[in-house]
Structure 1
Amino acid sequence: MTNDRSPVLAPPSQDELAERLTEVFDLVGPLYRRVHRKVTEAAPTEGLSVGVRAVLDLLRTRGPMTVPQMGRAQALSRQFVQRMVNDAARHGLVESAANPAHRRSPLIRPTAAGRAAIDAVRAREHALLRRVDGELAMADIDACLRVLGALHALFDDVDVDSPGTRR
């Protein structure tokens, strides 16, 4: 039984949906650039560039991975990921391990120093994120993740190693 006081909302048209999703893109780009700057500002203190931080966080959540796996997971070129892995290795934050599945593509795993570094970064980030203003509910976050996940899936066929091409 429907409540006569609450209007039944028609689903948005594809054009209305596309227009609202454009607003998401309009927010995501500047947000990414501001977060990038914030991480870069903290880099001298923590010793982690944005790229090295991304590598360490990925390894923290998914375990040892190859450079190509990390590139695919982060939608970054293998060359960029390799530079970040090399930088992290120079600082003693990651190490290579034998890969039983592929002799020429070693697994990259964090060292104890790498785990400590990413744990410290994430603790600082969580402290910052706890300061978010507004009355956000977990349902809001779930909806945001669902929308961003759908947009991510829409562009999943973009080949990040070959500019202008799709897989």
Structure 2
Amino acid sequence: MSDEMAALVADVYELAGLLRRSGEAIAAHEGQTQARWQFLSVISDEPLTVPQAARRLGVTRQAVQRVANELVDDQLVELGSNPDHRTSPLCRLTGDGRRILARINKIAEVENSRVAQTVGVDVLRAADRGVRSVTSALRGQR
């Protein structure tokens, strides 16, 4: 069984790398990076502070702060007052930020459809179930 788990881990790492490269290519169509796309996405439903966004993305606050600063400089994100914390502003999309995000998401939708048609929806569903099962088992180890 450990050989199967090791093979799965290797395959998941390979897939993660391919997904990162694909995400970079998709975001590049609009002059963005995957990190910038992820940040725009995470604040698209509701304004968040940088620490909140970092927790949702599972990355460091410092990494998210750098991306947030770039997006503010590019006027894709604006900072607003936070009634819960004076020194931690809320990040929200500007109109340009929403338009860029929508265009990136449209490109991703086309690519996701292409992959789904290539491998088949049943394969994607089975893979998702398997990944969720392994994820659940790993969380149970804590």
TM-score, scaled to structure 2 = 0.79
Percentage identity across aligned positions? 29
Per the TM alignment, residue 82 of structure 1 is displaced from its structure 2 partner at its CA by 0.5
CA distance in 2, matches of 1:59, 1:123: 18
Q: Count residues in correspondence.
A: 138
Q: What does residue range 114-153 of structure 1 map to in structure 2 within 5 Å? A: 114-132=97-115, 133-137=117-121, 139-149=122-132
SS of the equivalent of 1:130 reads: helix
Q: Which of structures 1 and 2 has the bigger CA Rg?
A: 1
CA distance in 2, matches of 1:146, 1:70: 27
Query: Aligned-residue CA RMSD in angstroms?
Result: 2.6
Q: What does residue range 20-39 of structure 1 map to in structure 2 within 5 Å? A: 20-39=7-26
TM-score, scaled to structure 1 = 0.68
Aligned pair in 2 of structure 1 residues 15, 68: CA closer, same or farther (>3 Å)? same
2:74 alignment partner in structure 1: 91
SS of the equivalent of 1:108 reads: strand
Q: What's the CA shift string for 1:49-82, capped at 9, x where partnerless? A: 222111111112x421111111111111111100
Runs of 4+ aligned residues of structure 1 deviating over 6 Å after TM superposition are: none
Q: What's the CA shift string for 1:115-165, capped at 9, x where partnerless? A: 00000011112122222243512x43333334444555637xxxxxxxxxx
Is 2:97 the partner of 1:110?
A: no
Question: Which ranges in structure 1 are unaligned for 5 or more consecutive residues?
Answer: 1-13, 156-167
